[in-house]
Structure 1
């Protein structure tokens, strides 16, 4: 059994360390929840990562878990572990604003699949986490939630759309967090916050509502915590019409050692083929990761870019039209509450013809075919998560231009469309001490293999900086 390290607080322990401690009686779920909530209180006025933070409800769940552990009857592998859920994952009785002030705040009728799974397994839901309007930004800028910030540098964004989840994981708001991803919304905040995430194969984790390319996934500080969480999240749910048939996958086998890498064919993708140029420090960090793979016997081969501007623009224009239709259906007073950036982006599609919309939509399939073909020669593909590190918190996107909104997702979005699993793991830091994410993508359905490769890299990578700590209480907080 893992012993609690005397120099680590309870909020810094992994999910496995917590449940091992509960089993031994070293501490209780109530004690852990109290410590995590106190840590959140020190951080949250700076980060603004949470929505519906209700300490008494969290403690009520923790007390129920404590009783189960005393009876030696935990509900599952995360019983009593503090966690958060992204705001757009519905929880029964709670409103789901989707990050925007334009949405009517009506209580959800039921828990969405990820929420249902964590409750069934005894997880302690500390809070929901914040997101931008409709999840359509890679930042924490929202017309409904306060501005979310990056714990590594409060002037910077945590990324998005799983903005609060990335910030909460890096800040130590408990070990487990759930986000969603349709073009990079798990991997971008993970990369910019220095944490780990897995965007699983489409349908591996049931979600409601399902949508082309949309996936839910774990956001954690370590690979093995994500692997543990997959035991819970990847259980079936009939509400997801796109879910995969359930498989009894050995998620506990995610630590296959560095031997997993020996002999693997790994593609090295250093240019997306469209969008922003890769910053030299980002490129250098990914190249260093490639050398680490090579040193233990992997065969790393450079790849030619396979994304094109036409693919990226097509997806962008289709999403504009979808959002334009959604906003057009709102009463004017509510539509006026949407972020101006999102409105400008969506309303630019007003003049699109049916033919133009069809051609835009066709680029999703073109992207899928290009990604599958490019990856066919390799077991895994490594690349930057983003061409640039975290940018200013107040900006909606790196370009701050609604006519060029997606130029940073060229590495991430193809794996949503191809339905391939793709992870983000920290591989270095900029000269400004901001994290740099390495993307590891695998063949479709090889979610466990991606976790195993990520775990091997986690063991081999250069030493990591200490996790950020709350600013001194003597400092003025950021509004």
Structure 2
């Protein structure tokens, strides 16, 4: 075993627990210590309950010693983005406008992890209400990039992505309403997966763009996490039946013969040549692995006007949640955005949803020819603090509710990560994971190594 237990994957931890080579108490203690060391520098967690985490770890240790683990993730540390309810923690959503009230019930993914015996560490930082590509808020401060603290971590799941990159819990749960899993995963060099809409049940309801999914250091860990959280829940009437019992099965089957469309610009975006060159190299590796790759755009125009109109529902929901007094407390940029989105008429929203339907149908037809679509995640190198990363490839596939992932592909001119974006047909989640795993096997994902706090 490596000396640093925080660098072990969830899969490795379970194997070590099974043979008693490691204890959940050892691992949780090491993870909490690393959080204590790095939290002042990276501001990853909104809240951590040390006493509860150690108690959960001790209970897990006793179960493993009896040979009776509670579930697939017994004793594995995990964190939750602070948009999701976790019993015993407030849900502040990165905002001064929310109450500091402790939640009495778990969201569906938190409930599934608790049932599986995972050690719930706490809540990770988020952009305010998940409405910005920056994990920089007046409530919680700045969460910088895992590779260089002068650069952004992205958003809105910035805390979760940095936590995964730095070994502050191998399993992280994020949310994605327009790229909020994939964007921070890309700029922090970790694996971020947005499953098909509803695949991971959610409650309270957050609209038809909102996906919940894993952010991890390895693809196999993401698959293991999906084994637990990709379950229906009676509170989410849009969650489909569980049709996949083992997400790890045939994960290593490769991409030979898989038909892949590669679009560098989606037909309308301007992309930095350095970013394109990095993604080109990753796509070339897919061809070397036997995939059938063709240059092809999916053939739709920029859908920004569609998502704006659809997001008017989210703006109205936010005003209802926090009221006029709460709106005065939120980021002025977000307040102006809410006010702008509220101006959409019902007729305009209906028209936007009709155009959304056409977009989804176009993508279904596209996937009759191609198994997967591959693009960059970012259009530009990672920016410095205060400027959101440019990730316009992400949001169209929230509109279509398709599964999509960000896979580490290389590093930009400043040494910051660049992500390759892979999109599958609706319910084609396994195909996305298998492509990601094929690239990971060819070139394991790098992680930032902090030899000592002196470097900070």
Give the TM-score, by structure 1 length: 0.90
Q: Aligned in 2, Cα 1:254/1:141: closer, same or farther, shift over 3 Å?
A: farther
- Find 1:279's aligned residue among 266, 272, 278: 272
1:404 is matched with which residue?
Answer: none
In the alignment, the residues of structure 2 paired with residue 474 and residue 252 of structure 1 have an alpha-carbon distance, to the nearest angstrom, of 37
What number of residue pairs does the alignment pair up? 455
Alpha-carbon offset, residue 34 of structure 1: 0.8
Superposed CA deviations along residues 186-237 of structure 1, whole A, max 9, x for unmatched, are 1111111100122111121111134212211111100111111111111221
- Find 1:50's aligned residue among 21, 45, 61: 45
1:323 is matched with which residue?
Answer: 315
Residue 190 (structure 1) aligned with residue 185 (structure 2) = yes
Superposed CA deviations along residues 73-103 of structure 1, whole A, max 9, x for unmatched, are 1011110011101111101243212221112
Residue 231 (structure 1) aligned with residue 227 (structure 2) = yes
Residue 289 (structure 1) aligned with residue 282 (structure 2) = yes
In the alignment, the residues of structure 2 paired with residue 100 and residue 113 of structure 1 have an alpha-carbon distance, to the nearest angstrom, of 23
- Find 2:339's aligned residue among 347, 353, 356: 347
Residue 308 (structure 1) aligned with residue 301 (structure 2) = yes
* Kept in 2: contact 1:266–1:381 (CA 8 A): yes
Pairwise mapping of residues 38-437 of structure 1 onto structure 2 (< 5 A)?
38-210=33-205, 211-257=207-253, 260-274=254-268, 277-309=270-302, 311-320=303-312, 322-323=314-315, 326-327=318-319, 330-395=322-387, 397-398=388-389, 408-437=390-419
Q: Aligned in 2, Cα 1:62/1:375: closer, same or farther, shift over 3 Å?
A: same
Moved more, 424-433 or 202-211: 202-211
* RMSD after superposition: 2.0
SS of residue in 2 equivalent to 1:252: coil
In the alignment, the residues of structure 1 paired with residue 247 and residue 318 of structure 2 have an alpha-carbon distance, to the nearest angstrom, of 39
In the alignment, the residues of structure 2 paired with residue 351 and residue 72 of structure 1 have an alpha-carbon distance, to the nearest angstrom, of 59
In the alignment, the residues of structure 2 paired with residue 43 and residue 416 of structure 1 have an alpha-carbon distance, to the nearest angstrom, of 33
1:450 is matched with which residue?
Answer: 432
- Find 1:441's aligned residue among 415, 423, 426: 423
Give the TM-score, by structure 2 length: 0.94
SS of residue in 1 equivalent to 2:137: coil
In the alignment, the residues of structure 2 paired with residue 192 and residue 80 of structure 1 have an alpha-carbon distance, to the nearest angstrom, of 29
Q: Aligned in 2, Cα 1:226/1:315: closer, same or farther, shift over 3 Å?
A: same
Q: Aligned in 2, Cα 1:321/1:231: closer, same or farther, shift over 3 Å?
A: closer
In the alignment, the residues of structure 2 paired with residue 359 and residue 60 of structure 1 have an alpha-carbon distance, to the nearest angstrom, of 53
In the alignment, the residues of structure 2 paired with residue 358 and residue 471 of structure 1 have an alpha-carbon distance, to the nearest angstrom, of 55
Structure 1: gaps of 5 or more residues = 399-407
